[in-house]
């Protein structure tokens, strides 16, 4: 959404006290759901995403199976209690779009061709929404897939960047997202610097976009270190 005139930066500080290029406090945890093959919880400030992975497992009904490859399915949903006003649990255009871009962001990391006739299901539930939920969901999914033992080419690390009150910022919260001049959702495979998600809303100059993409890349590298840290912890204790 693009609105102007709302003061979101005062004396160089954002409404939650952060500097322009500062990420929110982030927490990551894996194996939070015992019934899943792999799961993770990612907290970006007040945004909390839970990802749960099942598979690879045989896909039924059989006519949906692909003989040469496995299939990745992603479902993003915001819980009815995740925002101030009750959110309908039914899928809407936004959640269908986010499910699709999440699948496209994660797809290049998985060796689906090694698992013909199977499906890997990724369920993302946003239990608290305060901006950047799609990227929080992608980060959670990436470590949940790894924790499920799905062979991966790389992790996927994601963050949001944008422009508020003429200032370029990273990791937008809900208020900032709703009043931004532009916001960008970004994901990379950190080892290869391969971009798997780039969505932009609003207006930016070419130079601003280039600066924001560099900021996003740096932020994703920091997020990747957190993802690796939580996975290392798991395998250290096994
Ligand atoms: P993202 O959450 O990935 O940034 P959007 O830009 O679509 O995706 O949404 C921005 C923010 O707007 C969300 O993170 C959430 O805080 C808020 N939001 C989205 N949908 C709703 C809704 N139905 N009710 C209230 N707030 C919402």
The pLDDT score that the predictor gives to residue 4 is 52
Residue 195 pairs with which residues in a beta bridge? 188
Domain 17-236 CATH assignment equals 3.30.230.70 = yes
| Phi, then psi, of 122 in degrees rounded to 5 | -120, 115
Q: What are the structure tokens assigned to 218, written together?
A: 């740096």
Name the DSSP class of 25. P
How large is the average pLDDT for residues 36-40?
98
Nearest residue (CA) to ligand 1, atom 14: 131
Distance separating alpha carbons of residues 60 and 54, to the nearest angstrom:
14
Query: Is 94's C-beta closer than 6 angstroms to any atom of ligand 1?
Result: yes
- The pLDDT, as a whole number, for residue 235 is 86
CB neighbours of residue 206 within 10 Å = 7
The answer to whether the peptide bond before residue 232 is cis (omega within 30 degrees of 0) is no
Which residues make Cβ contacts (< 8 Å) with residue 225, sequence separation at least 6? none
Average pLDDT over residues 196-225: 98
Residue 6: per-residue pLDDT: 82
Q: Is the pLDDT of residue 238 over 90?
A: no
Q: Which two tokens stand for residue 43?
A: 């907290």
Q: Is the per-residue pLDDT at 25 higher than 60?
A: yes
The protein residue whose alpha carbon is closest to atom 4 in ligand 1 is: 132
- Top mutation candidate among 129, 158, 181 for ligand 1, by most atoms within 8 Å of CB: 129
Largest CA distance in the chain: 60
Distance 151 CA to ligand 1 centre (A): 32
- Tens digits of residue pLDDT in 121-176: 999 999 999 999 999 999 999 999 999 999 999 999 999 999 999 999 999 999 99
Q: Is the C-beta atom of 134 inside 6 A of ligand 1?
A: yes
Q: Where are the alpha helices (DSSP H) in 119-238?
A: 133-147, 174-178, 206-236
Residue 52 clears pLDDT 60, i.e. is over it: yes
- What would the mean pLDDT of 215-224 be, rounded to a whole number? 98
pLDDT tier for residue 236 given thresholds of 50, 70 and 90: confident
Residue 9: pLDDT over 80:
yes
Q: The pTM is what?
A: 0.97
Q: What is the pLDDT of residue 24?
A: 98
- For range 189-216, the mean pLDDT: 97
Query: What separation in Å is there between the alpha carbon of 39 and the centre of ligand 1?
Result: 23
Whether 174 is in the pocket of ligand 1, judged by its Cβ within 6 Å, is yes
The pLDDT tens digits of the residues spanning 65-124 come to: 999 999 999 999 999 999 999 999 999 999 999 999 999 999 999 999 999 999 999 999
């Amino acid at each position: 959404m693009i609105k102007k005139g709302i003061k979101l930066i005062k004396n160089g500080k954002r409404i939650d006290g952060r500097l322009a290029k500062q990420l929110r406090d982030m927490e990551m945890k894996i194996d939070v759901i015992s019934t899943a093959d792999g799961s993770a919880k990612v907290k970006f400030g007040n945004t909390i995403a839970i990802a749960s992975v099942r598979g690879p497992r045989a896909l039924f009904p059989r006519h949906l199976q692909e003989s040469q490859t496995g299939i990745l399915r992603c479902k993003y949903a915001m819980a009815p209690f995740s925002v101030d006003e009750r959110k309908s649990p039914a899928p809407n255009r936004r959640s269908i779009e986010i499910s699709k871009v999440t699948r496209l962001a994660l797809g290049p990391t998985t060796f689906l061709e090694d698992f013909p006739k199977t499906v890997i299901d990724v369920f993302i539930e946003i239990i608290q929404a305060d901006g950047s939920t799609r990227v929080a969901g992608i980060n959670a999914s990436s470590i949940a897939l790894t924790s499920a033992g799905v062979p991966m080419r790389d992790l996927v690390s994601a963050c949001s960047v944008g422009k508020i009150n003429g200032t370029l910022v990273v990791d937008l919260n809900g208020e900032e997202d709703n009043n931004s001049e532009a916001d960008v959702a970004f994901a990379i495979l950190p080892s290869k610097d391969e971009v798997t998600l780039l969505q932009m809303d609003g207006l930016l100059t070419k130079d601003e976009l280039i600066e924001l993409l560099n900021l996003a890349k740096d932020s994703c590298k920091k997020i990747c270190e957190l993802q690796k840290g939580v996975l290392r912890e798991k395998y250290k204790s096994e």
